[in-house]
């Protein structure tokens, strides 16, 4: 039986209003779903009844259309609860699953799989909590494109493997988007393989993936030292908050990561760079237990050719960041003999009253310093010359505990170079021709703040942020990527001289 979707507005908090001709199909169990799914038309909604869905495998087949996806929704958000040995398989195009809860799952299978050949599918307003699938990934994205995972919560994982794993392929960028999600309470593991997120594998490092993580919160993710393990090329990490974790954001393999607008607060380390052509701009890093940024040296295993080795970082750009209250601002080297090369460190602000700005753990090769200003116990290096100046920064804490320069600070208008690709500061305000050093321009409205748990995740689990299905990111500097909708991605980066390069698909 089919019923009109009138009165179901609360179910579709994050979804476009269904066209009048589209219908809602009530589904009572897995057998009924198996019958109803092949009959669903673009724009139709399959309504899963409230209550337990134990040991249920749902294969989401069919073909929706742009603007008219096939939607699988809980009757009331969060009230259809999957448990036991349950599994969801996205196996079609333009299919959305919304409002589901996965709790106390016990399985030997991956919980949610975006299968080979699926495209434009979406998991939204849902949660996986306190579940165990015996060293399997919670969510696995295979060879598909333009998937989106948004406004979801992933919490309570204490096994090996990842909350989300992305496969990458040499002939097909994924162009996936993960936004407005909460990743929390990832228990400490006993070795390698306990990352929260992994994009690619070591042998996939040269594949262009173009995965975007935007406006997510990672907190108490303590599986291992790599919270996110980036092992593919061309990925973006924008406006996320990392707080109270034991590890770091790691570019472990692969090249051309763009890391912008993120808060890193009170954790092991902010960012570790391995590989080539990474861009780190407009980030705020505070309260690390070791260093804010690590520029890794290499073990001699080759550039982008070693499956498991450590490639020295080269052609990295670290610019317009603010690093506060860390024992060490930037560590150059990591115990391996091959030096990082041609790294540009420019226009960063360091407020380290008890720490040093830089440390060479390996002999530098082609380091470029320009426009950095620090207030610290020590510069730590002697070869930066005029590219690193000691001054009293005149920074004050705002209501969220973030240090910002006030008008008249020596950071104001002091940046060296034009840096045309850095058109905005971390607050999203247009930078003037005479740009300021660090992540923030002085004065104006403090728009950027660290995410709280009430800012992200499902709305039925306490997210109080107004729904924003398109999630525009006006604060991101390269305007080519200002809207991360999965149907119009592009990627823009810069070479080692700060010149803009662009790759669009």
Q: What is the pLDDT of residues 281-292, one digit of tens each?
A: 999 999 999 999
pLDDT of 252 strictly over 70 = yes
Q: What pLDDT score does 339 carry? A: 86
Q: What pLDDT score does 406 carry? A: 92
What is the rounded distance in angstroms from the CA atom of residue 465 to the CA atom of residue 50? 25
Convert the pLDDT of each residue in 408-428 to its tens digit: 999 999 999 999 989 999 999
Q: What pLDDT score does 191 carry? A: 87
59 & 185 share domain: no
Q: Tell me if 340 is assigned to some domain.
A: yes
Q: What pLDDT score does 304 carry? A: 58
Report the domain count for the chain. 2
72 & 144 share domain: no
Could you tell me the residue range of the domain that residue 422 belongs to? 137-504
In the predicted model, what is the mean pLDDT of residues 250-274? 95
55 & 170 share domain: no
The residues that bridge with 46 in the sheet, in sequence order, are 25, 72
Q: Tell me if 384 is assigned to some domain.
A: yes
98 & 168 share domain: no
Q: What pLDDT score does 306 carry? A: 59
110 & 162 share domain: no
CB neighbourhood size of 207 (10 A): 23
Q: What pLDDT score does 15 carry? A: 64
Q: Tell me if 130 is assigned to some domain.
A: no
Convert the pLDDT of each residue in 209-250 to its tens digit: 999 999 999 999 999 999 999 999 999 999 999 999 999 999
Half-sphere exposure (CA, 13 Å, Cβ side) for 209? 33
37 & 153 share domain: no
pLDDT of 478 strictly over 60 = no
**DSSP conformation class of 172:** B
113 & 153 share domain: no
pLDDT of 18 strictly over 70 = no
Of 493, 496, 499, the closest CA to residue 344 belongs to: 496
* Per-position b or e across 342-353, b if 16+ CB within 10 A of its CB: bbbbbbbbbbbe
CATH code where residue 394 lies: 2.160.20.10
What are residue 245's phi and psi, to 5 degrees? -110, 160
209 & 294 share domain: yes
Rounded to whole angstroms, what are the CA distances from 81 to 287, 431, 463?
39, 48, 19
113 & 223 share domain: no
156 & 64 share domain: no
> What pLDDT band is residue 155 in, cutting at 50, 70 and 90?
very high
What is the rounded distance in angstroms from the CA atom of residue 159 to the CA atom of residue 182? 18
pLDDT of 470 strictly over 60 = no
Out of 93, 121, 149, pick the residue that ends a domain. 121
Question: pLDDT exceeding 90 applies to what percent of the chain?
Answer: 77
Q: Tell me if 129 is assigned to some domain.
A: no
Of 132, 133, 138, 135, the closest CA to residue 114 belongs to: 138
What is the rounded distance in angstroms from the CA atom of residue 349 to the CA atom of residue 355? 13
151 & 249 share domain: yes
Convert the pLDDT of each residue in 174-207 to its tens digit: 999 999 999 999 999 998 899 999 998 888 888 9
Q: Tell me if 473 is assigned to some domain.
A: yes
Q: What pLDDT score does 494 carry? A: 33
Q: Tell me if 324 is assigned to some domain.
A: yes
CB neighbourhood size of 194 (10 A): 23
Q: What pLDDT score does 286 carry? A: 98
Backbone dihedral region for residue 342 (phi beyond 0: left; psi -120 to 50: alpha; all else: beta): left
Tell me the pLDDT of the chain averaged across its residues: 87
DSSP 262-317: -EEESSS-SEEE-SB--EEES-EEE--SSEEEEE--B-S--SS--SSS-PPPBS-E
Q: Tell me if 126 is assigned to some domain.
A: no
């Amino acid at each position: 039986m089919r019923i009109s979707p009138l009165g179901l507005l609360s179910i579709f908090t994050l979804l476009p209003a269904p066209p009048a001709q589209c219908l809602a199909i009530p589904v009572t169990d897995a057998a009924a779903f198996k019958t109803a799914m092949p009959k669903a038309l673009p724009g139709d909604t399959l309504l899963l009844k409230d209550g337990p869905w134990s040991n249920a495998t749902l294969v989401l087949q069919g073909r929706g259309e742009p603007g008219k996806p096939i939607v699988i929704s809980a009757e009331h958000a969060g009230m259809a609860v999957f448990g036991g040995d349950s599994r969801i398989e996205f196996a079609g195009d333009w299919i959305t699953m919304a409002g589901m809860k996965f709790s106390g799952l016990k399985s030997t299978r991956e919980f949610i799989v975006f299968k080979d050949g699926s495209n434009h599918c979406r998991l939204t307003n849902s949660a996986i909590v306190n579940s165990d699938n015996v060293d399997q990934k919670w969510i696995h994205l295979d060879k598909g494109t333009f998937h989106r995972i948004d406004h979801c919560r992933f919490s309570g994982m204490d096994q090996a493997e990842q909350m989300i794993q992305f496969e990458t392929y040499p002939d097909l960028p994924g162009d996936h988007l993960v936004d407005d999600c909460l990743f929390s309470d990832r228990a400490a593991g006993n070795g390698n393989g306990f990352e929260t997120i992994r994009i690619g594998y070591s042998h996939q490092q040269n594949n262009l993936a173009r995965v975007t993580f935007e406006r997510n919160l990672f907190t108490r993710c303590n599986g291992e030292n790599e919270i996110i393990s980036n092992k593919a090329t061309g990925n973006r990490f924008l406006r996320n908050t990392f707080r109270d974790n034991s590890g770091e954001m790691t570019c472990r393999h692969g090249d051309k990561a763009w890391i912008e607008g993120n808060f890193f607060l009170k954790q092991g380390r902010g960012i570790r760079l391995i590989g080539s052509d990474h861009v780190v701009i407009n980030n705020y890093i505070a309260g690390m237990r070791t260093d804010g940024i690590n520029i890794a040296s290499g073990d001699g295993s080759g550039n982008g050719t070693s499956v498991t080795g450590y490639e020295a970082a080269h052609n990295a750009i670290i610019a317009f960041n603010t690093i506060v209250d860390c024992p060490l601002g930037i560590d150059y080297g990591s115990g391996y003999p091959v030096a990082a090369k041609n790294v540009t460190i420019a226009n960063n602000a360091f407020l380290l009253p008890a720490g040093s700005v830089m440390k060479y753990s390996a002999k530098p090769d082609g380091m470029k310093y320009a426009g950095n200003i620090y207030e610290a116990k020590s510069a730590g290096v002697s070869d930066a010359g005029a590219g690193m100046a000691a001054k009293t920064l005149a920074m004050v804490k705002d209501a969220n505990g973030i240090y910002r320069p006030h008008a008249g600070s020596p950071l104001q208008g002091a940046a060296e170079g034009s840096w045309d690709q850095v058109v905005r500061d971390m607050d999203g305000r247009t930078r003037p021709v005479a740009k300021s050093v660090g992540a923030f321009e002085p004065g104006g409205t403090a728009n950027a703040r660290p995410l709280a748990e009430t800012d992200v995740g499902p709305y039925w689990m306490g997210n109080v942020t107004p729904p924003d299905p398109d999630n525009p990111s006006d604060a991101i500097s390269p305007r080519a990527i200002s809207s991360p909708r999965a149907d119009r991605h592009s990627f823009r980066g810069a070479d080692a001289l700060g010149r803009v390069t662009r790759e669009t698909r």
